[in-house]
Structure 1
Amino acid sequence: MRAVRVTLASVTAVALAAVATGCTEKSKAGAGGDHVVKVTAGDDSCKVSKKEFPAGHVVLDVENTGSKVTEVYVLYPDDRIVTERENIGPGTSQKVNAEVKAGSYQIACKPGMVGEGIRQKVKATGGGKEVARDPKLDAAVAAYRTYAQEQADETLPLAKKFADAVKAGDLEAAKKAYAPSRIGWERTEPVAESFGDIDPKVDLREDGLTGGQDPEKDWTGWHRLERSLWKDEKITGRDKELADLLVKDLEKWQDKVNEAEITPTSMANGAKELLDEVATGKVTGEEERYSHTDLVDFKANVEGAEKSYALLKQVAAKNDPQLTAQLDRRFTALNELLDEYREDEKSYDFESYDKVGKDERKELSDAVNALAEPLSQLAAAVVAK
């Protein structure tokens, strides 16, 4: 399916090196002020420079001093996500912008990107400077909320079609309906993750189970059914129950979308999170390890990230035109590369990922990394004065 072409890896290598250098320089420059919270993440520690800070625009200045890839979250007390940044490599630093209302929160570091994380209680105090927002950003938030709701609304009929095939015991029909049922979810996953409990119910992989959880009793959602359809190649009574449960959990997601806390910075950070999802699950083939439909998820993640960017682009371009020009190029390059793995540009029939070779996976990974770094700067460009 894929045409032979000059590898993107050679094109992006120099760019990636330059990006890494820029990152190091920025991290050395540091940042001060009441709105900056320094987070030092180790393999067994999570230190914060202050336990209280003014509500409003907050910057997490994250440094990973450990030996493991880590992720950092700002969480509400009930574990809903305010903002997050995944895939922070050992010895690297990243800045995460967020808009935080007055109240109590937790900052969590997750060395190895597993488990509940090491947590610090923090408080955003009242009287912080109100986030002054361009009316164009308010319009972007409203448009993105509509988009997220549309994706949830469009997902439910597809999920029900998948569930109906499972309950009918039709293995081939269930396999065919599986990947399409996930597209809307993958496009807007950061919104779904903000609710805390829905994401692990519907999208958990087996290796995401925590100690003491029984895969046969506690594992639910798409990937549990994926294993039955492709690995076990049979549909059991339990699978039929799980199909019904999946639809019920997705209906909860559909009902809650309008309750999500959405801000310009959460949109920008969410776009970066979607690229992190690609880097840590799709490119590696871990996400869809039985069905090998990873490229469907991959494309949906990229589409979701690009939607957030498109809605924020007008303001970001005014503040940082060089960044948006770079993002335009990187999105185009990644989309063109993905297009080589599907039948036509309107089709979601992608090549099975187990047929994508090592060199091609490296090329896809390089294209993701080339986009992810400038995308991590989008939130700062959106709030720049």
Structure 2
Amino acid sequence: MSARPRPLLLGTAAIAVAVTLSGCTQKASGEDGAVSVTASDSACKVSTTEFPAGHVSLALENKGSRVTEVYVLFPDDRIAAERENLGPGTKATLVTELGPGDYEIACKPGMKGDGIRQKVKLTGRNAAAERSPEADAAVAAYRSYVLAQAEQTLPKAKAFAAAVEAGDVEKAKKLYAPSRIGWERTEPVAESFGDIDPKVDVREDGLEDGQDPETDWTGWHRLEKALWQDKKIGDREKELAGRLMTDLDAWVKKVGTAEITPTSMANGAKSLLDEVALNKVTGEEERYSHTDLVDFKANLEGARKSYDLLKPIARKNDSSLARELDKQFASLTKQLDVYRTDDGADQDSYTYRSYDKVSEAERKDLSDGVNALAEPLSKLAAAVAK
């Protein structure tokens, strides 16, 4: 994952708004009908605190000096939508589907902490009641896929944890990357719960200010460091292996209750490509094991699954976009599989070249391929919301 917790996303509203928050709800003329969210280092201003439920479009702008991210949160802090890595001076438009009710919009300068929050209220009818049969089918199929990936992760993670608990460094190394595939395929949904992701998938530089790596850092990457850098397993690592399984068990129990919409699927696919661009291609994710390309493949597969399920809607609403996405998904898959080192027969357990053996020129080519897919994929949510 990236260096902080994250989520899903947002689509088109029926009102036009464009004024900054002044303590009361206001409406203004916005030609695109978007709700504007202006983030800075000390504020999170929303142009209106009440707007219609359904497909909602958020016009985001970071006027601060630090990279920020914007979340839409349910009252219990589950993530309904998100846009991460919004750099200083950057603007972005996010499209999602939200039901009526109370939410909070949170801006996180520096991408850490609870964020600067603004309460908002969405009114009107539940958007899910107006979905097409194709949209309902896509959501149902994706929910089944996410649950299956979570359930398939448990035995692989259990084998990995057992090797750690047995003190078998070499066996644990072999089982590490396969144990993460299901998680990486469905990462945006896993992250939508907020509390599980920081326990199982945070890197050391993703810890919150004031957290101690010796006592507060848990999960896969803490064990990765012990196996590859420290080259030893102690009592603390054995304890953390058991804790990893406890946290993954909680994930599996929760995943069936995730809020899933067609636009969250589309935005989740884009989020997975962002993960690749920001952490896998750079080599930051698996900095000790160098198994980044396994994560890359899983992220790409998860994004492709979302797109494939949404393709009937995308093809009907924007056929040229669907053709471009077909082309770019196929191209990047072919490009990545050049680095595959197994026979390709098992789609649920694959191996790739160690990322420290991938040259800078090859990394640049992979990055270019990711960017070529990310650009049309960023338009999928809007196409689905038409």
Gaps of 5+ in 2: 1-29
Corresponding position of 1:4: none
- Paired with 2:273 and 2:125, the residues of 1 have a C-alpha distance of 35
What does residue range 173-252 of structure 1 map to in structure 2 within 5 Å?
173-252=171-250
CA positional deviation for 1:131 = 5.8
SS at match of 1:212: coil
Asked if the contact 2:73–2:105 (Cα under 8 Å) also holds between the matched residues in 1, the reply is yes
Are positions 1:365 and 2:363 aligned together? no
Rate the CA distance shift 1:364–1:45 in 2: closer, same or farther, 3 A. farther
Of residues 96, 99, 108, the one that matches 1:98 is 96
Structure 1 residues 314-323 or 82-91, which shifts more? Answer: 82-91
Of residues 367, 377, 384, the one that matches 1:375 is 377
Name whichever structure is richer in helix by fraction. 1
SS at match of 2:60: strand
Rate the CA distance shift 1:215–1:149 in 2: closer, same or farther, 3 A. same
The letter for the 2-side match of 1:175 is K
- Paired with 2:125 and 2:262, the residues of 1 have a C-alpha distance of 21
The letter for the 1-side match of 2:357 is K
Rate the CA distance shift 1:52–1:128 in 2: closer, same or farther, 3 A. farther
Are positions 1:163 and 2:165 aligned together? no
Q: After superposition, what is the alpha-carbon deviation per residue over 1:131-190, rounded to whole angstroms, capped at 9, x for unaligned?
A: 621101100101001100110111000000000000110000000000000000000011
Gaps of 5+ in 1: 1-29
Asked if the contact 1:226–1:290 (Cα under 8 Å) also holds between the matched residues in 2, the reply is yes
CA positional deviation for 1:216 = 1.3
Rate the CA distance shift 1:265–1:96 in 2: closer, same or farther, 3 A. same
Runs of 4+ in 1 over 6 A off after TM superposition: none
- Corresponding pairs, count: 354
State the TM-score, normalized to the length of structure 2: 0.88
CA RMSD of aligned residues (A): 1.8
Asked if the contact 1:87–1:276 (Cα under 8 Å) also holds between the matched residues in 2, the reply is no
Rate the CA distance shift 1:299–1:200 in 2: closer, same or farther, 3 A. same
Of residues 331, 355, 358, the one that matches 1:356 is 358
* Identical-residue share of aligned pairs (%): 68
Structure 1 residues 178-187 or 237-246, which shifts more? Answer: 237-246
Corresponding position of 1:122: 120
Asked if the contact 1:99–1:131 (Cα under 8 Å) also holds between the matched residues in 2, the reply is no
Asked if the contact 1:54–1:129 (Cα under 8 Å) also holds between the matched residues in 2, the reply is no
Q: After superposition, what is the alpha-carbon deviation per residue over 1:281-301, rounded to whole angstroms, capped at 9, x for unaligned?
A: 111111111111111001100
Structure 1 residues 371-380 or 341-350, which shifts more? Answer: 341-350
CA positional deviation for 1:31 = 4.1
CA positional deviation for 1:46 = 2.1
SS at match of 1:217: helix
Asked if the contact 1:46–1:119 (Cα under 8 Å) also holds between the matched residues in 2, the reply is yes
